[in-house]
Amino acid sequence: MTTETTLAESFDGRRFTYRVPRVSSIGPGDFVTIGVAFPETAEHPGEALVMGQVLTRATKAGDAVGHGRILGELRPDGTVVTSGGDPFTSQDLAPAGAGVLEALQARERATLRIGDLHHSRGNVDALLQPHRFNRHTFLCGQSGSGKTYALGVLLEQLLIDTDLPMVILDPNSDFVRIGELLESASPGDAERLRELDVRVLRNDGEHHPVTARLTAMEAASQAAVLQLDPLTDRGEYNTFLRMLESATGPEVGAAAPAARPPSIATEGMLNPHSIPSALRATGEADALRLAQRVENLGILDWDVWAGVGQSVSEVLDEGPRAVVVDLGSLHTHEEQLAVSLALLDDLWADRATRKPRLIVIDEAHNVVSAEPATQLQRLTTERVIQIAAEGRKFGLWLLLSTQRPSKIHPNVLSQCDNVIVMRMSSPADLVELEAVFGFAPPELLAATPFFHQGEALIAGGFVPAPAIIQMGARRTVEGGSDVPVPMPG
């Protein structure tokens, strides 16, 4: 028989169960308040208003039942404090008002606005904790979910509300106009964005080009660019190693070799086209084969080598607030990987300086693949895995975005403490998300296939409680909006 009363109880003061009439609209994700009469003590006034969040809902004997977690106690002054962990039974459970949600966010120092909360009675901003971006963040959403737009909102808000430097690897040229303000941007936000040093690197003849310095890359990275395997290509690889040795000199006490191949550093720093001829001049068979490899692959004809100009890493060294690296302006995926690897290698090599940096990788499956197919992909993936595992203590924090979580290496996904999930219809992806991000309530994840464009589930260390939100408006021009279908008239 259906009851007309509401019942909430907790045996440990951390979790609660509830029973409400089936017609009640309370469901997973909703924030509620529970009026509780605790035993009066010196530390506790007796009556209190406990704040909680519903996590599940089912039907039992004609009522809606489920469980949730306790988020804290609402004090008479309007603040939310950590709950004392006392058990209780109460018949007073109701949806939380806007003031209660705002108090919760204030307690957690959530100030970074990215949209509006869905699970609220009234207009309540969806706020993130900016100081919690010192953990890795993962954003995913299928095509058409608004993922790129949402990433733009997040990046703009980080630029406005923090001083966190960032570098953005942008494979689809989606953020190249992040310095161009929309008329709808508020005067305060517009002024803040105008004063920031945001640089766009792009190989279009107008911007600073996207370049790397081959000679400054680690030996393994250079070999990967040259597609050299130390066992399969033993002779060429050995010639390559001696080229590097000639750039740095032999170890102290080592006998000088009778003849050394030319150094990439000395022969190719400013004029890489001289390397093949210098290799041929040695007369060595392996050097000739290495020269043929370089020419056949056309690597030294890539537009990404810095020459007399600045590399991406050297631009970062000048200290701009944000650098957008337009990988989409490069001709091949191999060039994109080479620039990405060179940059990631340099950031890792400089880790001891402990300079905070947010490394944003859009379409991250292109850089940190679950199944790298080439040596260049493998090294790039391994470097991101290393940053994911060890970079946090050095101030290197990742923000990864992709359409398919399953295409991201699991050793990177497992290191992300913050997650934003937009519309996701793939059952396999939802299973993986639930397995990896245990802090995202399963019933909220199960709702993601039904999200409208711009809706997202946020969960993890950077939000006071998991919530479904509607992303807010952009302040700058989106670079990669969809191309419309031509219509008559």
- pLDDT band at 214; cut points 50, 70, 90: confident
pLDDT tens-place string over residues 154-181: 999 999 999 999 999 999 999 999 989 9
How much is the mean pLDDT over the chain?
Answer: 88
Q: Which of 150, 151, 96, 147 is nearest to 124 (CA)?
A: 96
The answer to the question of residue 477 being in a domain is no
- Do 219 and 195 lie in one domain? The reply is no
- pLDDT band at 484; cut points 50, 70, 90: low
Residues in the chain: 489
Mean pLDDT of the region 329-350: 95
What's the farthest any 2 CA atoms get from each other in the chain?
96
Those residues whose C-beta lies under 8 Å from the C-beta of residue 136, and which sit 6 or more positions away, are 388, 392, 397, 398, 399, 400, 412, 415, 416, 417, 418
pLDDT tens-place string over residues 4-47: 578 999 999 899 999 999 999 899 999 999 998 766 665 655 67
pLDDT tens-place string over residues 433-471: 999 999 999 999 999 999 999 999 999 999 999 999 999
- pLDDT band at 152; cut points 50, 70, 90: very high
Higher pLDDT, residue 284 or 323: 323
- Do 320 and 467 lie in one domain? The reply is yes
Residues 329, 135 contacting (CB under 8 angstroms): no
- Do 388 and 265 lie in one domain? The reply is no
Those residues whose C-beta lies under 8 Å from the C-beta of residue 404, and which sit 6 or more positions away, are 140, 365, 426, 429
pLDDT tens-place string over residues 230-241: 899 999 989 888
- Do 182 and 295 lie in one domain? The reply is no
Percent with pLDDT over 90 in the chain: 67
Residues 387, 344 contacting (CB under 8 angstroms): yes
- Do 287 and 367 lie in one domain? The reply is no
d(CA 461, CA 81): 18
The answer to the question of residue 401 being in a domain is yes
Position 118 scores a pLDDT of 87
The answer to the question of residue 112 being in a domain is no
Q: Chain centroid to CA 151: how far?
A: 9
Among 272, 301, 330, residue at a domain's last position: 301
- pLDDT band at 248; cut points 50, 70, 90: low
Q: Please name the helix (run of DSSP H) or strand (run of DSSP E) that holds residue 288, with its range, or none.
A: helix 285-297
- Do 329 and 464 lie in one domain? The reply is yes
Residues 139, 165 contacting (CB under 8 angstroms): no
Those residues whose C-beta lies under 8 Å from the C-beta of residue 270, and which sit 6 or more positions away, are 307, 308
Position 253 scores a pLDDT of 36
The answer to the question of residue 485 being in a domain is no
Sort residue 319 into left (φ over 0), alpha (ψ -120 to 50) or beta. Answer: left
Look up the CATH number of the domain holding residue 418: 3.40.50.300
The answer to the question of residue 121 being in a domain is no
Position 396 scores a pLDDT of 98
Among 46, 75, 107, residue at a domain's last position: 107
- Do 391 and 450 lie in one domain? The reply is yes
The answer to the question of residue 289 being in a domain is yes
The answer to the question of residue 481 being in a domain is no
Position 480 scores a pLDDT of 62
Q: Count of domains in the chain? A: 3
- Do 453 and 311 lie in one domain? The reply is yes
Q: Is the pLDDT of residue 256 over 60?
A: no
The answer to the question of residue 484 being in a domain is no
Residues 128, 477 contacting (CB under 8 angstroms): no
| Structure token digits, residue 453 | 């464009």
Sheet of 467-471, strand order: 125-128, 112-117, 467-471, 455-460, 416-421, 136-140, 396-402, 357-361, 166-170, 322-326, 198-201
Position 259 scores a pLDDT of 45
pLDDT tens-place string over residues 61-85: 889 999 999 999 888 777 888 876 7
Q: Is the pLDDT of residue 487 over 90?
A: no
Sign for the CA dihedral angle at 384, 390, 394, 398 comes to positive
| Structure token digits, residue 472 | 């807010």
State the CB neighbour count (10 A cutoff) for residue 227.
Answer: 16
Q: Say which range, 74-88, 127-141, 238-252, 360-374, has the weakest mean pLDDT.
A: 238-252
Residue 351, domain extent: 126-212+304-471
Higher pLDDT, residue 264 or 101: 101
- Do 321 and 435 lie in one domain? The reply is yes
Residues 54, 26 contacting (CB under 8 angstroms): yes
- Do 315 and 397 lie in one domain? The reply is yes
- Amino acid in the structure at residue 289: R
Position 281 scores a pLDDT of 86
Q: Is the pLDDT of residue 117 over 50?
A: yes
Kindly tell me the burial class for residue 218, based on how many C-beta atoms sit within 10 Å of its own C-beta (0-12, 13-18, 19 or more): middle
Mean pLDDT of the region 195-205: 93
Q: Is the pLDDT of residue 211 over 80?
A: yes
pLDDT tens-place string over residues 285-307: 998 999 999 889 888 888 898 87
Position 71 scores a pLDDT of 94
pTM, two decimals, is 0.90
Those residues whose C-beta lies under 8 Å from the C-beta of residue 90, and which sit 6 or more positions away, are 7, 8, 9, 34, 35, 36, 37, 50
Query: 61 φ, ψ to 5°?
Result: 50, 40
Among 242, 266, 301, residue at a domain's last position: 301
Q: Is the pLDDT of residue 361 over 80?
A: yes
Higher pLDDT, residue 121 or 178: 178
Residues 310, 339 contacting (CB under 8 angstroms): no
- Do 268 and 402 lie in one domain? The reply is no
Position 307 scores a pLDDT of 77
- Do 467 and 416 lie in one domain? The reply is yes
